[in-house]
Structure 1
Amino acid sequence: MNDFSKTDRLMERGSAFLGSRYAILCGAMSWVSERHLVSAISNAGGFGVIACGAMTPEQLETEIAATQELTDKPFGVNLITMHPQLFDLIEVCDKAGVSHVVLAGGIPPKGSVEAIKGGQNPAKVICFAPTLALAKKLLRSGADALVIEGMEAGGHIGPVSTSVLAQEMLPELSQDHIIFVAGGIGRGNAMAGYLEMGAAGVQLGTRFACAKESIAHENFKKAFFRANARDAVASVQVDARLPVIPVRALKNKGTEEFTQKQREVAGVLDRNEIAMEEAQLQIEHYWAGALRRAVIDGDVENGSLMAGQSVGMVKEEEPAADIIAKLMTQSEDALTRR
């Protein structure tokens, strides 16, 4: 058995919080983070997270049950805060006994954290914090742990790099709170560095997207294998009144179509035909459809190839267990050399 004692010691708080062997979360990737990948990661000692995305409560209930058939290890569910049925989804998680709920996509609406923690099967709440001020507010509001994610990540991103966020937030928060670092992590060496800075663990998405157990289409995976860091670009916001959170994805025809979609939705807003919340939901639904075209249908020209800048380190299809073992070995080697 491999000796990961130095990494294990630094991950101890995170592992205890998650209930997993290693404090390595898989970022929730729509259409990718489903039962097969989530269970494989949890079975390998990591912590899988189902991406609820635009699922209905009935669909989420089915996905959780199917995941529980494949693993008896802990896993979480990622819920989008702007989902119109958020509280119904929280109830589904509660009834299924999900141990951890991750709230993403914005500030948790009033009562949501309380609903997660106060159900029949109280769950731990993990939130995303893009700034130190918001991090402190979320912790005061009941978040049990935070993920600080830098702009190098895939999918929805903030404006600040992971390394800067870590330097700003870990010294302030990590002594008393569980903080996971995400964004641009592709090797265990980087993981070791953030653990030494005080992180309780890390979250990776792009590194797991092409795991053997990932149901992503062969074309999707091949696009990742061909890509380098510079190919993963952030989307452009075309209208200041439509505060679209930037999305990082591999540049293709679909990237240009998203710019056109924003112009279209902005025009509808101009004519006062829809409310701002509905406009933002239209953008979210666009992404869900574009992601499906790439991940499930294999249309890598018109679909969305959401990927972080660590995509250049993804060169082959590997079992999730091998990816986790490599990360731990690389981290242990780095810590041993210090």
Structure 2
Amino acid sequence: MTDFPKTHELMRRGAEFLGTEHAILCGAMSWVSERNLVAAISNGGGFGVIACGAMTPDLLDAEIAGTKELTDKPFGVNLITMHPDLTDLIAVCGKHKVGHVVLAGGIPPKGSVEAIKGFGAKVIVFAPTIALAKKLFRSGADALVIEGMEAGGHIGPVSTSVLAQEFLPALAEDHLVFVAGGIGRGEAIAGYLEMGAAGVQLGTRFACATESIAHPDFKKAFFRANARDAITSVQVDARLPVIPVRALKNKGTEAFNVKQRDVAGKLDTEELAMGEAQLQIERYWAGALRRAVVDGDVENGSLMAGQSVGMVKQEEPVAEIISGLMAESEAALTKRG
């Protein structure tokens, strides 16, 4: 039935929840996690997730429809909780009968979880503390992703290994918990599964897949990089609470510091209100990421990458990446008996 019996047994709850062969999710990477990569991951036995990001409802509508044309397997949609059109985006997911919605970027607004569950979808959330995780489960969340600071993009302050040691013993017996952040090989997957994880989420390993539409120069930057090149952004003004972002060091990282100082100066002169200032910071990242992923400007754009980037050496088809991870996990579990 399966080439990976030990791994599949440990993944069974997660795979049944996702409706997939393997309990491996792809993290939602703006501009990267679009229909081609999402469909390839789902077709390869994993669980693709569309990164809605700053999309309008019409754009998300088209992206879901386009993904459905490429796969008949389950996939999810990642929505940012602070998106001004969140209610309409949820309605688009309902229209397409999306089976799983991931809510990221903050505590879900009142009514959002209920709206998603209202059309029969499962809700996946993020939480930085066990107390908040328990609260979200009580509020209707069906599964949780814990993501460590090794991940690419917006990150928290705690490592994946520490989060796993905190969350899994406390929650994994009664709840579905997926582990993310810095996972690049199957041996790590095996370890987290043994600790009680229902599955794992990877982003960086999939960013340069053959099916990824990322610019060739974006991919080459990943192939050249090692773990130490994936650094976190710096907050230059305490009034601008900037969530750290992990990306490959380039001119764009320094440009972000310049942008922060510029916005802070406009706060000083009252040219900007605080809300608009914070919004400008978020818009910066959206534009910088597009410049790197779509336009291939790897010097000035944002090369968001996790510390596992050093394990990304070449373009590979998604199916080979997934089967390789599963084989590594299975070998590790077999070796341990």
TM-score (norm 2): 0.98
- Paired with 2:111 and 2:280, the residues of 1 have a C-alpha distance of 25
Which residue of 230, 233, 239 maps to 1:232?
Answer: 230
Counterpart AA for 1:20: T
Which residue of 200, 203, 206 maps to 1:205?
Answer: 203
Counterpart AA for 1:72: D
- Paired with 1:73 and 1:277, the residues of 2 have a C-alpha distance of 40
In 2, are the aligned partners of 1:145 and 1:178 still within 8 Å (CA)? yes
- In structure 1, the residue corresponding to 2:201 is in which secondary structure? strand
Name 1:50's counterpart in structure 2: 50
Distance 1:337-1:133 versus aligned 2 partners, 3 A rule: same
Do structure 1's residue 95 and structure 2's residue 59 form an aligned pair? no
Correspondences of 1:236-251 after superposition (within 5 Å): 236-251=234-249
CA offsets 1:285-325 (integer angstroms, 9 cap, x no match) = 11111011000100000000000000000000000000000
CA offsets 1:67-117 (integer angstroms, 9 cap, x no match) = 000000000001111111111111111111111111111111111111111
- In structure 2, the residue corresponding to 1:158 is in which secondary structure? coil
Which residue of 118, 121, 124 maps to 1:123?
Answer: 121
Counterpart AA for 1:255: T
- In structure 1, the residue corresponding to 2:325 is in which secondary structure? helix
- Paired with 1:142 and 1:265, the residues of 2 have a C-alpha distance of 38
- Paired with 1:112 and 1:275, the residues of 2 have a C-alpha distance of 28
**C-alpha displacement at 1:220, in angstroms?**
0.3
- In structure 2, the residue corresponding to 1:127 is in which secondary structure? strand
- In structure 2, the residue corresponding to 1:77 is in which secondary structure? strand
CA offsets 1:248-281 (integer angstroms, 9 cap, x no match) = 0000000011111112222233334444333222
Counterpart AA for 2:147: E
Name 2:140's counterpart in structure 1: 142
- Paired with 2:78 and 2:274, the residues of 1 have a C-alpha distance of 24
- In structure 2, the residue corresponding to 1:213 is in which secondary structure? coil
- Paired with 1:281 and 1:148, the residues of 2 have a C-alpha distance of 26
- In structure 2, the residue corresponding to 1:181 is in which secondary structure? strand
Name 1:269's counterpart in structure 2: 267
Name 2:10's counterpart in structure 1: 10
- Paired with 1:259 and 1:234, the residues of 2 have a C-alpha distance of 12
- Paired with 2:242 and 2:168, the residues of 1 have a C-alpha distance of 28
Correspondences of 1:36-185 after superposition (within 5 Å): 36-118=36-118, 121-185=119-183
Which residue of 250, 253, 259 maps to 1:252?
Answer: 250
RMSD over equivalenced CA pairs, Å: 1.0
- Paired with 1:110 and 1:280, the residues of 2 have a C-alpha distance of 22
- Paired with 1:247 and 1:218, the residues of 2 have a C-alpha distance of 22
In 2, are the aligned partners of 1:150 and 1:162 still within 8 Å (CA)? yes
- In structure 1, the residue corresponding to 2:196 is in which secondary structure? coil
- Paired with 1:315 and 1:62, the residues of 2 have a C-alpha distance of 33
Counterpart AA for 2:304: M
Counterpart AA for 1:117: K
- Paired with 2:93 and 2:155, the residues of 1 have a C-alpha distance of 26
- Paired with 2:138 and 2:160, the residues of 1 have a C-alpha distance of 23
- In structure 2, the residue corresponding to 1:39 is in which secondary structure? helix
**Percent of aligned pairs with the same amino acid:** 81
- Paired with 2:132 and 2:280, the residues of 1 have a C-alpha distance of 26
**C-alpha displacement at 1:245, in angstroms?**
0.5
- Paired with 1:264 and 1:108, the residues of 2 have a C-alpha distance of 31
**C-alpha displacement at 1:37, in angstroms?**
0.1
- Paired with 2:103 and 2:274, the residues of 1 have a C-alpha distance of 21
Counterpart AA for 1:12: R
Which residue of 295, 301, 314 maps to 2:299?
Answer: 301
Aligned length: 336
Structure 2 gap ranges (5+): none
Which residue of 269, 281, 284 maps to 1:283?
Answer: 281
In 2, are the aligned partners of 1:178 and 1:199 still within 8 Å (CA)? yes
In 2, are the aligned partners of 1:54 and 1:285 still within 8 Å (CA)? no
**C-alpha displacement at 1:2, in angstroms?**
5.5
Counterpart AA for 2:159: S
- Paired with 2:135 and 2:262, the residues of 1 have a C-alpha distance of 35
Distance 1:276-1:108 versus aligned 2 partners, 3 A rule: farther
